[in-house]
Structure 1
């Protein structure tokens, strides 16, 4: 076990050393409005399996951290040669589930890491990006956790997504008609967090955007519920990454103090999803978290108070149609949480189409549901009206 962890730490360190060469160094946040592009350059993206020709740029744009302070983060803008006219925009929230910059799509896509590797998990993301480009959509893929990797801190995920849309619309080479651009947002699993929270924040944070719809699958509605669900499973290390990510976003929680082993903190802070799961298989949070009296980390009042504010549904009411889908056997994001969220949305009058897939779990739920979600987005971008499952049994469609 020690040898495995040492190897993972060594690999992480080697990758981190190359990140600056690809991403460049962080700037101070500009005093411009949110979504302002402060730096841009063309990039080569070889990880998307498509024959569709496209141009790509990496842009640094202004957004906000969890506390509302301005900073700059990165996004990759993809413009297909044979794009639809008038142009449309998809903000694609890739699965990150980590704090380290080499796990972010701006690095992964340039490094050609389109398949599952020891440094990331973007295989499905690349397939869906290919389908979007083949449909002629311009796409923006944000590093929505920001330069500090505030993993699991919902506000930064939603703001980073919305500001990436502003950035793409502000970026002249993308050739978009500004805030009038028909736009949509899509994400699954960790990416669904940015999509879902952007939907809730949009009316207050980015009301000028022409958001036609948001599709989110395998949504983590409640961090605490998910942490308990994955505790002691293959995905168990994600709970520690989420806790430490929240510590970056909310320094008053002193999260590092509950993980006294500096080697553990370093490995978790520098590892991508598959590295985490390999280094700490079947991990329980209590294996590494040391708390007063042995109380559960998420039951500490200060932590529980913050986590409670980050539950989906707490950010605002979506003003655009939603397409939510979930595996009925999801072992990572409990479907009961999503059922409750949909009931709440329906009660608020949100136009939501909720699709539940029987016989599949979190990973295969992506395969089962995401193609239909992309079709739904296509209809919204084309201007077709959206339906709703509110009022149906369970407010949903099975299958």
Structure 2
């Protein structure tokens, strides 16, 4: 998921393209596992036709509309009231799923999710954008271009702040509009993204011309209360965005009555936790979709656990 329309999930699925440059297994592997369990799987292009990477409400609405469409299909509509359904998202996918969870009560009150598995959550995307140097910095150009995709005046302002000459200039920055995630990392990784702007990234984050765009799109926890049980997992040493903002979001959800199982993994970083979280996510999804959640988890309210999990360890090892 990036600011290129050719980096959408449907494009990745049609080409069986995985994040091989990041050591990540193609999505089709996990979809095949879900299908083998007898589940239906839908994968929405939640960034929309303008590739609005980072636009939270857009993504959340798309996920909810996707479920509505699935339940209206000839295969399911005659029994839609008895269908169990859940969400699963990691990193950028967690942004879409978390916003969908928050927006469901107001935007799609007829939907009744069995649960949602959210990994590598990003409660404040501007925190990712504020790291101008490193592997994570490769997401900044796509994020800024994606979040302004539906705001012409904001996009115009953003481009006006780019340097027109030198090694870090507008031409290079705008390459993000054509890049996949791997290509973005290969091109922008470990560059100082602040160097692309006349007044640096600080001038972008503090610009009143972009304040509303960021406020409307980048912050989780302000759009509603998730009504379904949540399984949330994150690496304590996540290198894309710190654990503190995630802890704050979960604390907020807990205070307003959301049913949450929150795993804070002592092992690995952001990319590691994607792999490490897959078995636990499948366990949770199996429980909520097969109707055994109460029996297997027996958790209500907020359950907060520090765990030590890697791909070869038991999914229930705890420290």
Q: TM-score, normalised by structure 2?
A: 0.86
1:383 pairs with 2:291:
yes
- Say if 2:234 and 2:273, in contact at 8 Å, map to a contact too: yes
Maintained 8 Å contact 1:247/1:256: no
Quick one: higher RCO (CA 8 Å, sep 6+), 1 or 2? 2
Q: Distance in 2 between matches of 1:147 and 1:208?
A: 26
Q: Deviations over 1:83-106 (max 9, x none)?
A: xxxxxxxxxxxxx1x011221121
RMSD: 2.3
SS of corresponding position for 2:114: strand
Q: Deviations over 1:150-193 (max 9, x none)?
A: 11010011011111111111221567733542110001111111
Name the SS for the 2:16 alignment partner: coil
Under a length normalisation based on structure 1, what TM-score does the superposition of the two structures give?
A: 0.69
Residues 51-95 of structure 1: CA deviation (Å, up to 9, x unaligned): xxxxxxxxxxxxxxxxxxxxxxxxxxxxxxxxxxxxxxxxxxxxx
- CA distance in 2 between partners of 1:161 and 1:294 (Å): 31
Q: 1:234 aligns with which of 125, 135, 157?
A: 135
The answer (yes or no) to whether the contact 2:19–2:25 under 8 Å persists in 1 is: yes
Q: SS where residue 222 of structure 2 aligns?
A: coil
Matched residue, 1:247: 148
Superposition pairs of residues 30-69 of structure 1, within 5 angstroms: none
1:396 is aligned, of 298, 305, 310, to: 305
Gaps of 5+ in 2: 164-168, 309-319
Match of 1:266 among 171, 174, 182: 174
* Structure holding more helix per residue: 2
Answer whether contact 2:63 2:97 (CA < 8 A) is retained. Answer: yes
SS at 1:363 equivalent? helix
Structure 1 residues 301, 396: CA separation in 2 closer, same or farther (over 3 Å shift)?
Answer: farther
- For residues 8 and 23 of structure 2, what CA distance do their matches in structure 1 show? 10
Matches within 5 A, 1:10-49: none
Name the SS of the counterpart of 1:306 in structure 2: helix
Contact kept? 2:173, 2:196, Cα under 8 Å? no
Structure 1 residue runs of 4 or more that deviate by more than 6 Å after TM superposition: none
Contact between 1:389 and 1:397, CA under 8 Å: does it hold in 2? no
CA contact (8 A) 2:123 2:246 kept: yes
Task: Give 3-state SS (helix, strand or coil) of 1:186's partner.
Answer: strand
Trace 1:297-316 onto structure 2 (pairs within 5 A): 297-309=204-216, 310-316=218-224
Q: Within 2, Cα distance between the matches of 1:357 and 1:280? A: 28
CA–CA distance in structure 1, aligned partners of residues 96 and 23 of structure 2: 17
Distance 1:294 1:108 in 2: 31
* 1:335 correspondence with 2:237: no
The equivalent residue for 2:126 is 224
**Which residue pairs with 1:113 in the alignment?**
17
What is aligned with 2:110?
208
Measure the CA separation in 2 of the matches of 1:361 and 1:247.
28
Provide the rounded CA distance (Å) in 1 between the counterparts of 2:116 and 2:201.
41
Residue 136 of structure 1 corresponds to 38
Matched, 1:318 2:226: yes
The question of whether the paired residues in 2 share the 8 Å contact of 1:106 and 1:143 is answered with yes
Q: Cα distance, 1:285 vs. partner?
A: 2.6
User: CA 1:350 to 1:240, structure 2 compared with 1: closer, same or farther past 3 Å?
Assistant: same
C-alpha displacement of 1:286:
1.1
Deviation at 1:305, TM superposition (A): 4.1
Distance 1:284 1:387 in 2: 47
Give the conservation status (yes or no) of the 8 Å contact 1:351–1:387. no
> Does the CA-based 8 Å contact 1:180-1:210 persist in structure 2?
no
Query: How big is each residue's C-alpha offset from its partner over 1:315-362, in whole Å with a ceiling of 9 and x where there is no partner?
Result: 110111111100111000211110000100110010011001102101
Aligned length: 297
The Cα of 1:306 is off from its aligned counterpart by 3.2
Cα distance in 1 between the residues matched to 2:184 and 2:173: 11
Q: CA shift at 1:300, angstroms?
A: 1.8
Structure 1 residues 189 and 115, CA gap change in structure 2 (3 angstroms): closer
